[in-house]
Structure 1
Amino acid sequence: MNLRSNAATPPLPSGGKSGPGAAKSSSLRPLKWVASFAVLALIAYAAFALVHPERTPEVIGNVVENITGANPAPVELRRPPVRPLSAMALLGQQIFNDPSLSASGKQSCASCHSAAHAYGPPNDLSVQIGGPHMASVGYRPVPSLTYLYRQAPFSIGPDAGDADGAAPVSLDQLASAAKGVQRAVKTAGVVPAAPAIVPQGGLFWDGRASTLQDQAISPLTNPVEMANATNEDVARKLLQTKYLGQFVKLFGQSILNEPALLLAEAMFAVGRYQIEDPSFHQFTSKYDYWLEGKAHLTRAELHGLQLFNDPDKANCAGCHLSKPSSDHLPPLFTDTQYEALGVPRNMNLPQNKDPKFYDMGVCGPFRDDIKDQTQFCGMFLTPTLRNAATRHVFFHNGVYHDLKQVMDFYNLRNTNPEKIYPRDASGKVEKYDDLPAQYHANIDVADAPFDRKFGDKPAMTEDEINDIIAFMKTLDDGYRVSGS
């Protein structure tokens, strides 16, 4: 028995009473209907159990889940410990929130990574504004800094360097070895049979930073962000800060004469702040509490979860893993791998006014160490979906601004491309218009729902998309369980 549907509750019989007793009778009808439904469900379960005794626990779970919205198999999640911030993390907190470190004197890390917006941008701009005069337009949307504490360094496929006695292997070597190897099809709930010879891990949309420390320095010297000309400029600004004494307490007086070390320790402090402060990885969503048996999902949310995990429908969990790990770590809703999705070009970005410019992710233009590994052109990091419903900009080029647009892209990209992409002067649909044609073979057409063909029925109905969005809203942090 499965009640995961959008069907309305059946109308209750009206009866023939009127007067004072009618209200009482009417108020009892929902309770009577629920009781009758429960009896019927138990009868159906008993009959099923006689025929399929091995599946009785599964059936019990479905009955309970569908009646109450409770998780039939709650788990205990292992969240990061909450402790007072170390002196290093407290220093990092001040650096993170200090606009004096920018060329304009008006922009800090927190300006684009707002704590009130899940450490993402505080507005709905496709890209943020920065530069020495706060007039320069960025290249890519600012990603959230939440849930990065378990992010591994960038790598490609199995790490051959892990084998005893093995010589270190470069990214270029790994990428070359991956050429011609068929990528694993990602099916929700199923471990891929083929090797995952794809990029994974790292920070930024293209994974070019491997640690939070490496990530922290980049905006400080990016000409369209905090816009310092050199690392030395940042070090000089650090020497003028009101918290300079904290550096001396932690590292000694000599650090004041070593600008490279001063900057390195400052960026390490920012990384420690992001790791230690629980606001970067709260795990306080309704879904977390549902996993623990402390919250109930609505019918729409339950149905959305089912569709999210359904390998023949949305298949979201193929990349955005939704189950706790075997050691009870909460799901991060990303496999941290890279995908070429073929999202449409965002003509509102200044660089895209140049028809010869293409942002191709892993193979350039902002990283160049594996630019010759063209089998990865167009691939970008799969972000976490936690707090995605609080965002106002999506994908690496910020082309979409709400979850409905995102879901329509997944649903219609292959079946109805005319609803996703522009047309050229002759009226032909320009599919995959934000990637050069020679790299279109990199775009995912194997994983559902992208496995549909032109003219096929889309994988999801409008109602199903609405239910998936309802479920995704349960991934927002800050949910309060009853009694808390």
Structure 2
Amino acid sequence: MTLQTNAAMPSPIPGGDPTPRSASRVSSKLVLRVVAGVLAACILLGGFAVWHPERLPAPIGDWVEDLTGVNAHPVVLRLPQNRPLSAVAQLGRDIFFDASLSASGKQSCATCHSPDHAYGPPNDLAVQLGGEHMNLEGYRPPQSLAYLYRQASFSIGPDQGDMDTPAPTLAALAASASTVQRAQKTAGVAPAAPAMVPQGGFFWDGRAMRLQEQAIAPLTNPVEMANPNTHAVFMKLQKASYINRIKQLFGPTVMQNEELVLDEAMFAVTRFELEEPSFHPFTSKYDAWLQGKARLTRAELHGLRLFNDPDKANCAGCHLSKPSPDGLPPLFTDTQYEALGVPRNPHLAVNKDPKFYDMGVCGPFRTDMTEQTQYCGMFLTPTLRNTATRHAFFHNGVYHDLQQVMDFYNFRNTNPDKIYPKDASGKVMKYDDLPAKYHANVDVADAPFDRKAGDAPAMTDDEVKDIIAFVQTLNDGYKP
């Protein structure tokens, strides 16, 4: 109606007010409404700041994102292709689930790496049971086999620029890095640390260079599948229902070389882990949010901000949360090694010996880096994808839920009495799972470990809850 009335009115008087009176009234009302709306918004935001000052972001774009839960900058992710499994991968699948390859006849790869539990342990034990009679404790909690498709081999220092130049040995690289100051890690930024710390590899200590080696090792581990030697595994493979497929795929003469048979069989397992989509599905709520297909709750968005904040949780300093520049989805690990000083797990059988210390990269299960003591206490940073579904955390399984994990990060330096036991005199035994001469290796530079005893923890209880809420968005299986 207003538009029709204005259209019928005479043209404005030259040199006079160019706006007709009725239109002016409408504009005045509109201005009043806008002003009133802005005032109301200011009052609303002021109240929000009073009640939740820590959740009030500064940029207006972030504020809008907070209210809607939508990613303001969606991306196109380069996801692994979903194709039918090759014949070799199908063979690997059968081997992966074959419990007859163990000494007990009851343990397969899938026993400790359950497909129903993100290829991690299916229970809440700190370590898994194995051995000939399935009654021996393992040394460490099995890591998930998911999201390893981009894991590089173990190395120290930058990649070689000239491929014709012989690569230096690990010992030479480690020695050259021993006097270099440790780089501080900050959220969302690729740290300079690769030049100074180990990276890549498989197992908690990186002793397996390739997935194939990772698959072979449990077969003869006395507390896992417990075969006395590789010959025993070869004899089991000869009796397997898929032996003819091994001959067809790798040639009948393969059976003349026991080592080669085992190598090819584990190559097939590797192909299964690389080709099977469920090992890297990228179906979490966070993946959907990155692509603009899901809304995060206010708690989840706040948790993400704290996760990335280099002065707060700083989780993204090691658990990289942003897609790569070319669109590869984040794996939530920088695949590097850290000495965190987690407390000793007194319940592990191996820890009943007070002289035993699991020192990760420098031993005892890895033997080629024992001389590089600057790496003692360092363990591989695992992916946080699906970590909220796990029930054993860190290399010794000392914690069993995310609240305990966050408390460790929050209180390790500010309130160590909440984290570590006390000796007979009442003194807190800080870093009690690492010999005192290696305590200097423990990270005290990166937030939240940059606090001192008596300081306020980096995170409040509510902030910890929001971080956990965000980490739960990394579980696969979300349906928008």
How does the TM-score come out when normalised to structure 2? Answer: 0.88
Q: Aligned residue for 1:197?
A: 196
Preserved CA contact (<8 Å) 1:182 1:194: no
Preserved CA contact (<8 Å) 2:113 2:145: yes
Preserved CA contact (<8 Å) 1:41 1:63: no
Q: Aligned residue for 2:376?
A: 377
Which SS does the other structure have where 2:462 is aligned?
helix
Measure the CA separation in 2 of the matches of 1:166 and 1:217.
30
Q: Aligned residue for 2:171?
A: 172
Q: Aligned residue for 2:471?
A: 472
Measure the CA separation in 2 of the matches of 1:234 and 1:384.
31
Aligned length: 433
* Amino acid in the other structure paired with 1:322: S
Classify 1:249/1:68 alpha carbon distance in 2 versus 1 (closer, same or farther; 3 Å). Answer: same
Q: Aligned residue for 1:341?
A: 340
Structure 2 counterparts to residues 214-253 of structure 1, below 5 A: 214-253=213-252
Deviation string, structure 1 residues 268-327 (Cα, Å, up to 9, x no partner): 000000000010001000000000000000011011001000111000000000000001
Which SS does the other structure have where 2:440 is aligned?
helix
* Amino acid in the other structure paired with 2:261: L
* Amino acid in the other structure paired with 1:303: H
Deviation string, structure 1 residues 104-125 (Cα, Å, up to 9, x no partner): 0000000000000000000000
Measure the CA separation in 1 of the matches of 2:68 and 2:41.
13
Correspondence 1:256 to 2:255: yes
Measure the CA separation in 2 of the matches of 1:195 and 1:299.
35
Deviation string, structure 1 residues 65-111 (Cα, Å, up to 9, x no partner): 11210000000111000000000000000000000000000000000
1:63, distance to aligned residue in structure 2 (A): 3.4
1:338, distance to aligned residue in structure 2 (A): 0.1
Q: Aligned residue for 2:33?
A: none
Q: Aligned residue for 2:151?
A: 151
Which SS does the other structure have where 1:304 is aligned?
helix
Which SS does the other structure have where 2:182 is aligned?
coil
Preserved CA contact (<8 Å) 1:202 1:209: yes
Measure the CA separation in 2 of the matches of 1:264 and 1:167.
26
Q: Aligned residue for 2:283?
A: 284
Structure 2 counterparts to residues 62-461 of structure 1, below 5 A: 62-159=62-159, 161-163=160-162, 165-192=164-191, 196-461=195-460
1:424, distance to aligned residue in structure 2 (A): 0.1
Which SS does the other structure have where 1:453 is aligned?
coil
1:370, distance to aligned residue in structure 2 (A): 1.0
**Structure 1: gaps of 5 or more residues:** 1-35, 46-57
Measure the CA separation in 2 of the matches of 1:310 and 1:444.
18
1:249, distance to aligned residue in structure 2 (A): 1.7
* Amino acid in the other structure paired with 1:309: N
Measure the CA separation in 2 of the matches of 1:383 and 1:37.
48
Measure the CA separation in 2 of the matches of 1:253 and 1:78.
39
Preserved CA contact (<8 Å) 1:183 1:196: no
1:42, distance to aligned residue in structure 2 (A): 10
Which SS does the other structure have where 1:351 is aligned?
helix
Which SS does the other structure have where 2:301 is aligned?
helix
Classify 1:479/1:42 alpha carbon distance in 2 versus 1 (closer, same or farther; 3 Å). Answer: farther
Measure the CA separation in 1 of the matches of 2:351 and 2:214.
25
Measure the CA separation in 2 of the matches of 1:233 and 1:118.
30
1:183, distance to aligned residue in structure 2 (A): 1.2
Which SS does the other structure have where 1:167 is aligned?
coil
Larger Cα-atom Rg: 2
Deviation string, structure 1 residues 383-437 (Cα, Å, up to 9, x no partner): 0000000000000000000000000000000000000000000000000000000
Compute the RMSD of aligned alpha carbons: 1.8
Measure the CA separation in 1 of the matches of 2:427 and 2:37.
54
Classify 1:208/1:194 alpha carbon distance in 2 versus 1 (closer, same or farther; 3 Å). Answer: closer
**Structure 2: gaps of 5 or more residues:** 1-35, 46-57
1:64, distance to aligned residue in structure 2 (A): 2.7
1:40, distance to aligned residue in structure 2 (A): 5.6
1:254, distance to aligned residue in structure 2 (A): 1.8
Which SS does the other structure have where 1:464 is aligned?
helix
Classify 1:164/1:142 alpha carbon distance in 2 versus 1 (closer, same or farther; 3 Å). Answer: closer
Classify 1:245/1:464 alpha carbon distance in 2 versus 1 (closer, same or farther; 3 Å). Answer: same
1:256, distance to aligned residue in structure 2 (A): 2.5
1:193, distance to aligned residue in structure 2 (A): 5.5
* Amino acid in the other structure paired with 2:103: A
Measure the CA separation in 1 of the matches of 2:40 and 2:373.
59
Preserved CA contact (<8 Å) 2:185 2:193: no
Which SS does the other structure have where 2:223 is aligned?
coil
Preserved CA contact (<8 Å) 2:156 2:194: no
* Amino acid in the other structure paired with 1:107: Q
1:43, distance to aligned residue in structure 2 (A): 12
* Amino acid in the other structure paired with 1:103: A
Classify 1:133/1:287 alpha carbon distance in 2 versus 1 (closer, same or farther; 3 Å). Answer: same
1:165, distance to aligned residue in structure 2 (A): 4.2
Q: Which moved more, 1:264-273 or 1:245-254?
A: 245-254
Measure the CA separation in 1 of the matches of 2:37 and 2:180.
53
Deviation string, structure 1 residues 37-71 (Cα, Å, up to 9, x no partner): 899669999xxxxxxxxxxxx94532331121000
How does the TM-score come out when normalised to structure 1? Answer: 0.87
Measure the CA separation in 2 of the matches of 1:249 and 1:37.
75
Measure the CA separation in 1 of the matches of 2:70 and 2:42.
17
Preserved CA contact (<8 Å) 1:452 1:458: yes
Which SS does the other structure have where 2:219 is aligned?
helix
Which SS does the other structure have where 1:273 is aligned?
helix
Preserved CA contact (<8 Å) 1:76 1:292: yes
Preserved CA contact (<8 Å) 2:194 2:336: no
* Amino acid in the other structure paired with 1:181: V
Preserved CA contact (<8 Å) 1:403 1:469: yes
1:261, distance to aligned residue in structure 2 (A): 1.4
Measure the CA separation in 1 of the matches of 2:40 and 2:395.
50
Measure the CA separation in 1 of the matches of 2:362 and 2:192.
27
Identity of aligned residues (%): 70
1:244, distance to aligned residue in structure 2 (A): 1.1
